[in-house]
Structure 1
Amino acid sequence: MDPILLLKAAIMGVVEGLTEFLPISSTGHLILAGSLLDFTGETAKVFEIAIQTGAMFAVIWQYRERLARTVTGLTHDPQAQRFALNVLIAFVPAVVLGLAFGKLVKAHLFHPVPVATAFIVGGFIILWVERRHRRQFGDRDLEGQRRARVETVDDMGPVDALKVGLIQCLALLPGTSRSGATIIGGMVFGLSRKCATEFSFYLGIPTLMGAGAYSVWKQREALHVADLPMFAVGLVFAFFSALLCIRWLIRFVSTHDFTGFAWYRIVFGGIVLLTAYTGLVDWSA
């Protein structure tokens, strides 16, 4: 296979892994990176979704002990049963709306300018939520002194899970950020920052692995055995970069809010729109 194509696959894998769990939209970054690298087309679109599985394997590895306890405890442990049920409840809305509107969204919104617009809108939403949070609690939640209504994933109920699952559906719009929607939305619904972040990790496992498998199956006729090295490289680089990002983010949320990510979204989105408008960069997808 063309080594340049494998290099592009590696770069895309790193972009996926570093952005999947941050509130800055991995799909949006992949669309923009693919446009710059001239990594486009139907196979590239399947690739962008499929390599999310690599990032999810990083979550499985990071939380392997918790997930193993859950699987072995499904028949007798109420806590494991409650946790699994909550993930399932939160997962269902994305399946329903994804199947209903996924094709329409991909046809009209998987392009750099709509993505950049979503970047900016999402940034302002994060700023609003963080400002609201500070008015209510000051900086106490970052110091571990505040008691949120839902402190840990094990404290969540089915209604909490459903709310997070519904807000996750906003991520059908590229540039919105699945992790951003679930974390920021979870905080609005009363989850602690740490709880919302961890539940976002867990919810991503069925959501993104399911989306990846479904996309590959739907587009299987457009894929070839020769594409396997490209997909493998993307998955491997997504896994290792995502693992680093997860471990960093767990530490980050204990002492920081997401204001910096909000300004990043706004500035980056503004640059994309400005360069697209002036013609300085050809962002055609």
Structure 2
Amino acid sequence: MDLILLLKAAIMGVVEGLTEFIPVSSTGHLILAAALLKMPGEKIKLFEVVIQTGAILAIVSLYAERLWSTVAGLPRGDVVARRFTVNVLIGFFPAALAGVLFIDVIKAVLFTPTVVAMGFIAGGFVILWAERLQARRGTSRVEAVDDMCWTDALKVGLVQCVALVPGVSRSGATIIGGMLLGMNRRTATEFSFFLAIPMLFGAAVYDLYKHHHLLSSADIPMFVVGMVTAWLSAWVCVRWLLRFVSTSTFVPFAWYRIVFGALILLTAWGGWIDWTP
């Protein structure tokens, strides 16, 4: 058993868990972490998808009661359960379709440190703009996930497609997109959580099916360590984030993105850090 490899897997899992649900781009951070840890090859891309499943299990465990009541309510024709399910599926569909059609091209062309850095910076300025609009507006049109209509879900789902570009952030796109559509921060954040469940589970199943030939029994310890650390760190992060959005704005995340993206570009162009895996 390679202990160094397991340590790297644990670090990658923590990076995934801490960044998946905040608007800073987990994919971008994983690309950079893999480059720094020198974890190259096709298998690392599959590993990144698998540990995203660990992060999603944190959402499933934290919202187990809500998810179970939805599943139980559907056969009874519960209106709230049906609306919630339809909204999640509508929000999921655009990015899922775009991912199936374009993900191979995106991975081949856009999964580079420079693209990630540019995505960080651009996303940071969009967050600052969205927060300024939110402050001017004062009140929000949608105060809870159950108040959403199907057109709200569709618009958020279309915005989520932008997050296929690494560095943009899936959570950032859906949260900020929701806020621009009139949701308050907590509602936009929670809907982003729920959209992540089919989105990331679907991506994991698709990638495992497509690249199952890369798997071997020797990879099991690495995958397990990565999933467990991703689940634990995501569980902690989500609980903190829900408290944070109740009293604070996303402005600190915006400046983090801008500064971090600029540092990546500066160190890459100056030749101080080799970000290439």
TM-score, scaled relative to structure 1:
0.96
Structure 1 gaps of 5+ residues are 138-145
For 1:34 and 1:200, how far apart are their aligned partners in 2?
25
Q: Aligned ranges for residues 16-95 of structure 1 at < 5 Å?
A: 16-76=16-76, 77-95=78-96
Q: How far off its partner does 1:241 sit? A: 0.2
CA distance in 2, matches of 1:193, 1:122: 17
> In the alignment, does 2:194 pair up with 1:202?
yes
Residue pairs, 1:1-285, within 5 angstroms: 1-76=1-76, 77-137=78-138, 146=139, 148-285=140-277
Aligned mates of 2:137, 2:227 — CA distance in 1? 41
For 1:135 and 1:83, how far apart are their aligned partners in 2? 29
Q: Distance in 2 between matches of 1:40 and 1:121?
A: 27
Shift of 1:23: 0.2
Alignment: residue pair count: 276
Q: Quick one: which amino acid aligns to residue 55 of structure 1?
A: A
Distance 1:39 1:62 in 2: 31
Q: 1:12-54 CA distances to partner (integer Å, 9 max, x unpaired)?
A: 0000000000000000000000000001210001101111000
Distance in 2, Cα, partners of 1:119 & 1:268: 7
How many Å apart are 1:281 and its aligned residue? 0.2
Letter in 1 for 2:141: R
- Distance in 2, matches of 1:210 and 1:118, equals 24
* Distance of 1:258 and 1:211 partners within structure 2: 27
Give the residue type in structure 2 aligned to 1:85. Answer: V
State the Cα deviation string for residues 229-260 of structure 1 (Å, max 9, x = none): 10010000000000000000000000000000
Secondary structure of the equivalent of 1:51? helix
CA apart distance, 1:136: 2.3
Instruction: Identify unmatched segments of 5+ residues in structure 2.
Output: none
Secondary structure, counterpart of 2:167 in structure 1: coil
The separation in 2 between residues aligned to 1:7 and 1:169, in whole angstroms, is 33
2: distance between equivalents of 1:249 and 1:228?
Answer: 31
The code of the aligned residue for 1:37 comes to: L
CA distance in 1, matches of 2:134, 2:149: 22
1:141 corresponding residue in structure 2 = none
- TM-score, normalising length: structure 2: 0.98
C-alpha distance in structure 2 between counterparts of 1:194 and 1:278, whole Å: 40
1:135 Cα deviation after fit: 2.2
Q: Deviations over 1:114-161 (max 9, x none)?
A: 101110011011111111221222xxxxxxxx4x21110000111011
Whole-Å Cα distance in 2 between the matches of residues 206 and 96 of structure 1?
13
Letter in 2 for 1:81: R
The list of structure 1 runs, each at least 4 consecutive aligned residues, that deviate by more than 6 angstroms after superposition, is none
Counterparts of 2:97 and 2:33, CA distance in 1: 29
C-alpha distance in structure 2 between counterparts of 1:82 and 1:58, whole Å: 23
Distance 2:186 2:123 in 1: 20
Letter in 1 for 2:223: F
